[in-house]
Amino acid sequence: MGMRVLVVDDSGFMRKRIVEELRTQGHSIVGEARSGNEAVQLYRTLRPDLVTMDITMRDMDGLTAAKEILAEDPEANILFVTILTDERYKAEAEKLGAKGYVNKTDHLSISKVIAEIGRKM
Amino acid sequence: MAPQQLRHTLRYPGGGDNKVAPRSSFGVLMQASLTKKLAVLFFLLALAAVAVNFKFMMDLSPDLTGKTGTDIRQGLHSDGATVSEGPVSQYAYRNRMAFLLGMMVLCFGSIIYLFVKRVVLPLNSVEVAAREMSRGNLSVALSTNPGGEIGSLGKAISDLAANYQEVLLLTGATAGNSILAVERIENLLGQQGQASNEELREQVRVIKKDLETLSSLVKDFEFYHARFDGRKVVPQMPAPKR
């Protein structure tokens, strides 16, 4: 099932890669945000089915943005797509209630986790 | 990175950027570029100067009727009597000149102040940040407060730094994965006979996948005079001018 996805990453280059990957899987991209602040604002407007969230962003980091989004909508589906492999961040993401935590270099896992989230919806 | 990619805007249904639409004419002015703001300010001040000048000329005109310029300058009527009072005395004339001078000083002072505050200082900070980034320090933060062209330039440089950082980190992380896989292969080979072919094949698959990721990262960039086809650099020189 195709999902409406909001892609959050401060790198336009990485957003482009994620967008292309998601489109090939049949999902539609409803918005792109380059910071946590923009992500929170766009989430309120768009109410997407899924948010792919980067962590290292200057304006507001992904964990803080996810916390704000989940405080407003506890049913929000947030998937962290990050370069950080530190277990502490992974544990923090799980504690927040994220639907997954995958490494940006691992495209197979990204596709797999997104497909899994889609099936559960 | 191609400039077209740097101009990647954040869109959502309903069209337009993520910027909030201004609600009043004052809001429109505040959202306008710096050049437009300066132009509006200069226009208003110039309009005020013209209006004051016009009023001054209108006040002078009754004195000019039937009198020579010399009479006015000397403050005398044509019959030789001293002018004690009238529509425009020399005192009032001096005051108005001083007022006009003050307006001019205020006008140019405001423009210079705004120019330094909104153009020179932000451009200086952008230059310092760009210099730091060129030395490899991508952690330097660029203020995105100034709007208009300077703000856009700062955002474009920040986007460039973000992309640069992302690619470098992904490259490093992918290379790190490959190094780990190679080290495992070395260990397996060191344990001669204990390592199964399947384990070695799995590690080779990991290296191959990571190297393919590295290759695809480079392939996604747009270069001048060359392109990367996934395996090698292919020259792409512009056609010679005839």
- Contact list in B for residue A41 (CB cut-off 8 A) is 18
- State how far the alpha carbon of B30 is from the alpha carbons of A14, B22, B36, B202, in Å: 32, 8, 10, 60
pLDDT score for B132: 85
Give backbone dihedrals phi and psi of B66, rounded to 5 degrees, phi first. Answer: 75, 5
**Binary contact (A83, B158; C-beta < 8 A):** no
Q: Which residue has the higher pLDDT, B13 or B143?
A: B143
> Could you tell me the CATH number of the domain that includes residue A26?
3.40.50.2300
Nearest to A16 among B5, B18, B170 (CB): B5
In this predicted model, what pLDDT tens digit does every residue of B36-93 receive, in sequence order? 676 677 777 777 877 777 777 666 655 544 444 444 444 444 455 454 455 556 677 7
Tokens of A46: 């768009």
Task: Locate all alpha helices (DSSP H) within chain B, ordered by sequence.
Answer: 3-6, 25-31, 34-64, 69-74, 90-115, 121-134, 148-190, 197-219
Among the listed ranges A9-13, B10-14, B224-228, which one has the minimum average pLDDT value? B10-14
- Contact list in B for residue A110 (CB cut-off 8 A) is none
CB contacts < 8 A, A to B, total 67
- Contact list in B for residue A38 (CB cut-off 8 A) is 10, 18
ipTM: 0.79
- Measured in angstroms, the CA of A94 and the nearest CA of chain B are apart by 23
DSSP string across B8-69: -----TTSS-SSPPP-SHHHHHHHS-HHHHHHHHHHHHHHHHHHHHHHHHHHHHHHHTTS-H
Nearest to B5 among A13, A83, A107 (CB): A13
Q: Under a CB-based contact definition with an 8 Å cutoff, are residues B203 and B183 in contact?
A: no
- What is the distance between the alpha carbons of residues A115 and A113, in angstroms, rounded to a whole number? 5
- What is the distance between the alpha carbons of residues A31 and A13, in angstroms, rounded to a whole number? 15
Nearest to B159 among A12, A30, A38 (CB): A12
Q: What domain range includes position A14?
A: 4-120
pLDDT score for B34: 63
- What is the distance between the alpha carbons of residues B128 and B139, in angstroms, rounded to a whole number? 13
Among the listed ranges A52-56, B5-9, B143-147, B162-166, which one has the minimum average pLDDT value? B5-9
In this predicted model, what pLDDT tens digit does every residue of A20-54 receive, in sequence order? 889 988 999 999 999 999 999 999 999 999 999 99
Give, as one character, the DSSP assignment of residue B140: -
- Contact list in A for residue B213 (CB cut-off 8 A) is 105, 107
Q: Under a CB-based contact definition with an 8 Å cutoff, are residues A25 and A67 in contact?
A: no
Mean pLDDT for all residues in chain B: 69
Match 């110039």 to its residue by tokens.
Answer: B46
**Binary contact (A13, B166; C-beta < 8 A):** yes
Domain positions in chain B: 32-141, 142-242
Classify burial at B196, counting beta carbons within 10 Å of its beta carbon; exposed 0-12, middle 13-18, buried 19 or more.
exposed
Handedness of CA B110, B113, B116, B119 (dihedral sign): negative
Q: How many domains in chain A? A: 1
pTM equals: 0.63
- Contact list in A for residue B11 (CB cut-off 8 A) is 31-32
Q: What does the pLDDT average to over B125-147? A: 79
Query: Which range, B27-31, B66-70, B76-80, B154-158, has the best average confidence (pLDDT)?
Result: B154-158
